[in-house]
Structure formats: structure tokens, C-alpha cells
Chains A and B, each alone.
Chain A
Amino acid sequence: MSEAAVTFRDLTLGYSSHPAVHHLSGEVRRGSLTAVVGQNGSGKSTLLKGIVGVLKPMAGTCQVASNSRIAYLPQQSELDRSFPARVVDLVSMGLWPKRGLLGRYRGEDRDAVASALGTVGLSGFEKRSIDTLSGGQLQRALFARVLVQNADIILLDEPFNAVDSNTVGDLLGVIKRWHSQQLTVMVVAHDLDLVRSHFPETLLLARRPVAWGPTAEALSSENLKKARRFDEAWHDDAPWCEPAGHGGHVDHGHGHHAHGLNHSKAGSAGEPERSPIQAA
């Protein structure tokens, strides 16, 4: 069985012919806990959308290991909080992969929802309307939905935004539990201190991949400086990105080599070693 949960091969994702993630190659190892960091517009959310299949690649491929179940937590802003739903309705949406459009919810499903709510500290909130929840409570409920999905790849888009430190601590506890269960977890985050303390691996994006590997190396000051230089603006007249020789690409707009990053897996027991980061 392959060690890769997700494999990117020269992946480019974007909107209206402009790349948001440009020529990303590498593997997300099974059981890894990876923070995805970068400035606004650097392609973090886009990458998660690409993995979950909501956004189709413009070029290259994004391959998810067969038989994997993905749980995806979009940003809170994607959710319509004025919709008349109770916490239990929101969390029960996580049963979709199991029950689909028409399957009846059974006793075990209700137990799973109750247990997930207990795990995130929302027992007793079942019948609360979601428009009465605080930002932190809503995020806890959304984590409960992820728990109910019972997936083996978990993608969380900015789960710590507008959430107090107490809630962040509890949610990190849930994430660490997933990690200890050998689930593959990718989390978009902005707080670099939090990433350094809690995430073993980091993918640093600036539309193109800048660094990917053990967090301390990926977030070196040199890499962060590179990431900051990234130009957020789209250029309507940017030259077309044509395949260059040797199967690679050259991004004329930013002048980086596009072979991306080699993210090799190791053979030794325990935490795999990583090859050095090969950013442009």
C-alpha cells in the first residue's frame, strides 16, 4: 500500500486562467499532520478545494489514495448562519458519506452525533439554533461534523480564525487525536507560532510552493522572506505559462522553476526523513 495519501504531480489550480496554486509536486504522507501556510491569496484554500475535488486542475494531477474518505471543513464564511438549522442538523450533515441522499438516520448515527458533540464540548447544544452560536461554538460544531464523517483524510480551512484561545486549545486537542489515530490532516493556518508548536510539517505557499517539509525548516526566515515577496496581484497581460523542455514548466510571471518540491518518504521506522527542500 502506498504511503501517499495525496499525490500532486505538477498541479496547477486557479480561476479564469490565472493560477492560484502553480506547479505543485509532492506527496502528503499517510498519517501526516501538515500546516498549509502563506499570505492571503497564496493558494492555501484553493489547494484544499483541489484535493477535495471541488476545483478541477488546470494542469497536472492531484491524486487521492484509492478508498480514502475525505472530510473537508470549508471556511466559516462559506456557511449561511441565518439558515434555520439546529446544531444537530449541522453535525448530522457529516453522515452524508454514510447515509447519502435518502438513507435513514439510525440509532447508531444519533449516537455518533452525540458522541462527536461531547468530544468538542458541545453536549446539550443539540437543539440550539446555529444562528445563536458564537464563532467558537460554531467552529466546535463544524469539528463535530468532521468527526461524524469518519474520514481518513481531513482538510481544515482556517479553523482557528476568529476563535478564542480556549477554543483553539480544544480544537488542537481534537486535531492531535486525529494525528495519533494515523489520520492524514492538513490545516490552513495563519498563526506561525501555533504552527511551529503543534504541526510537525508545513507546506509554505506563495502561489507556487516555497517550502515543504519539517516545520522548522519550512518556516526558516529565508523561506518566509521568499514567501513574502510573492506578488498577490493577477496580471491580465501575464504571458501564458507554456511547458518548457524536460517536462517541466517555467512561470514567466515569477521566474521560478516548476519542478516543485521533492517530498520523498523515508524507509526508517518512525517519522520519515525528508529530502531537503528544493524551492526555486
Chain B
Amino acid sequence: MYDFLVAPFVEFGFMQRALAGSLLLSLSACPVGVFLMLRRMSLTGDAMSHAILPGAAAGFLLYGLQIVPMTIGGLVAGAIVAVGAGAVSRFTLQKEDASLAAFYLISLALGVMMVSLRGSSVDLMHVLFGTVLALDDAALWLIAGIAVVTLASLAVFWRALVAECLDPLFLRSVSRLGPLVHFLFLGLVVLNLVGGFQALGTLLSVGLMMLPAAAARFWTSRVVTMAALAVVIGIVSCLAGLLVSYHAALPSGPAVVLIAGAIYLVSALVGTRGALLARVSHPHRHRTA
């Protein structure tokens, strides 16, 4: 048991770093995912994860596999797509889902083009799928910084975030924070996706953000509990994913996300809040009042 569960993390520095990085990521990305889901923007996370690709690719092409330029590039690309899509939806007839789709598709194509112009398919695979087993100190510090900024922002703006989801017009009637909170939140999404891509890649970082959140929805109907539970599910997924990856020599990113996916499927089946089994097992059972 010890050999299976603990030894890999004690004996190997790269496993310790992978563990630390993925735990920090769970701590910050999973609550952000809960709010994305509650705002019915689950697919926005996916779109944004594609959107940061050309920025990360530009950093990669110019400076190689360096965390700082790739992060800055990703942040810039994410911000351009978020603001561009927001501007088109605000100032034209088009709604944000269409404008965001347009912007992220342009961004994604641009990113793939940039990587393939100069890099090899191995480079592309790295940017797309990352590798949590190769986190260096700089990447860990970055993820830690992102976790601190995210948790602090969530703590400070929690009330506004909830109000903005629940009754945005009411929030606007009592405070001017509404639009600010919206963009701050999109900023947190981009930040966490950028933090995740080094470990999981641009495509899978959204998996750690959304799957624990979507799974937690089946177990509780309070936002605080949901966020905490999502973090726990994220941590369990990371631990289990890393162990599976280590013992079975499988790629770590997909392993982590697949474990989270399995937890989601189980939750959707047997969860206590509106899950499938409860709905079909006793369809006629009811209370007296």
C-alpha cells in the first residue's frame, strides 16, 4: 500500500513537484469552475483554453520552453479574446457566445499555425497537453502566485460574484461592481487556465476546472459547499491521476482529467441532488407535504 500510494511522492522530486503544482491548481481552478458552471458559461472555459494557445505559442517560439514568456503570452492572448468577444457582443447585434466562438477559433488556428511553422509536433503536443511531471520551480511559483491571487479575489468579491450570478440587475441597482466583477472573473478564468497549461496543457487545464465543479453540483445546493467539494474532488483527481500515471506509465494530464471525468460520471449517476439514479429508482415515491 505504502509503495503504491506514498512511495512515488517520497522518492521522486518530480512527483513531489507535480503533486504540489496540481494541488495548488485544484485549490484555485476548481472554485472558479464552480462559478463558470453556475453562470452557465461552462463552455466558455473551454473556449478560453483554446484562446490562450497563440500567446503561449508565441512565447514558446521566441524563448523556448520558458514559463514566464509563455504565461505572459497566454495572458495577453486570453485578454484579447475576452475583451474582443465582449466588445463585439456589447457594440454589435451579435451575442457573446457567437463572438467568443469566432474569436477563439481564430485564436486557436493562429496558435496551431505558429507552432507548426517553427516547431515540431512534439512541441505542439507539449503546448496542447503539457506535462505535470516536468514542472520546474518557476512554474510552481507561478501556480502558487495564481492560487493566492485567485483565492484572495474570490474571498473579497464572493458576495458580488454570487449576486451577479443570481440577480445581476439587482446587483446593478445597489452597486457599480457588476461589470467590474464580470471582467475580474473572466480574468481569473484566463489566469487559472494559463496556470494550468504548463502542467496539463491548454486543452486539459479546463478539465480540472470544470469536471470537479460539474460533479460537485450533484451533491450539494450551496455555493460554498460546492466550491469546497470541487476542490476536494480536484485534489483526489490529481492524486489518483498522478499515481495511475506513475504506475502505468501513462501521460499524467489525461490521467488526472480522466479520473475527474470518472468522478463526474459517478456523481451524475448516484449524487444526492438531482442525479440520475434518484430520479429513476423511486419515480412514484412522494411525501405527504
The interface of chain A, by Cβ under 8 A from chain B, is: 49, 52-54, 70, 72, 74, 78-80, 83-86, 89-90, 93, 96-97, 100-102, 129, 131, 145, 149
Contacts and interface: CB of A to CB of B under 8 A. Distances in A.
A84 B173 contact: no
A278 to B, nearest CB: 31
Interface residues of B, number: 25
B226 A101 contact: no
Contacts of B157: 101
A204 B217 CA distance: 46
A83 B156 CA distance: 20
B64 interface: no
B172 A54 contact: yes
Contacts of A54: 169, 172-173
A70 B38 CA distance: 28
Nearest to A155: B173
B223 A101 contact: no
A83 B160 CA distance: 14
19 contacts: A54-B172, A72-B173, A74-B169, A78-B168, A79-B167, A80-B167, A83-B38, A83-B165, A84-B220, A84-B223, A84-B226, A85-B162, A85-B166, A86-B222, A96-B163, A101-B159, A101-B177, A129-B221, A149-B174
A79 B166 contact: yes
A245 to B, nearest CB: 34
Interface string B224-249: 00100000000000000000000000
B221 A72 contact: no
Given A84-B226, A85-B162, A78 B173 contact: no
A84 B167 CA distance: 12
What is the interface of chain A mostly: helix, strand, loop, or mixed?
A: mixed
Contact of B165 (A80, A86, A90, A149): A80
B174 A90 contact: no
Nearest to B176: A53
A195 B90 CA distance: 37
Contacts of B160: 101
A86 B162 CA distance: 12
Q: Which of B38, B169, B172 lies at the interface centre, i.e. has the most chain A CB atoms within 10 A of its CB?
A: B169
Interface of B: 38, 156-157, 159-160, 162-163, 165-175, 177, 217, 220-223, 226
A85 B167 CA distance: 11
Pick the 5 closest A-B CB pairs, nearest first.
Answer: A72-B173, A74-B169, A84-B221, A96-B174, A78-B169
B50 to A, nearest CB: 26
Contacts, number: 65
A8 to B, nearest CB: 18
B169 A84 contact: no
A54 B157 CA distance: 20
A82 B244 CA distance: 36
B156 A101 contact: yes
Contact of B170 (A85, A89, A93, A100): A93
Contacts of A70: 173
Contacts of B217: 84
Contacts of B163: 93, 96
Nearest to A72: B173
B210 to A, nearest CB: 17
Contacts of B38: 83-84
A192 B140 CA distance: 66
B63 to A, nearest CB: 39
A72 B163 CA distance: 14
Contacts of A80: 165-167
A96 B166 CA distance: 14
Given A79-B167, A83-B38, A101-B160, A96 B175 contact: yes
B79 to A, nearest CB: 24
A68 to B, nearest CB: 13
A89 B167 CA distance: 12
A84 B222 contact: yes
B167 to A, nearest CB: 5
Contacts of B162: 85, 89
A47 to B, nearest CB: 14
Contacts of B159: 96, 101-102
Nearest to A145: B170
Nearest to B165: A83
B151 to A, nearest CB: 15
Contacts of B156: 101-102
Contacts of B220: 84
A85 B38 CA distance: 11
A49 B168 CA distance: 13
Contacts of A72: 169-170, 173
A42 B138 CA distance: 60
Contact of B173 (A53, A79, A101, A129): A53
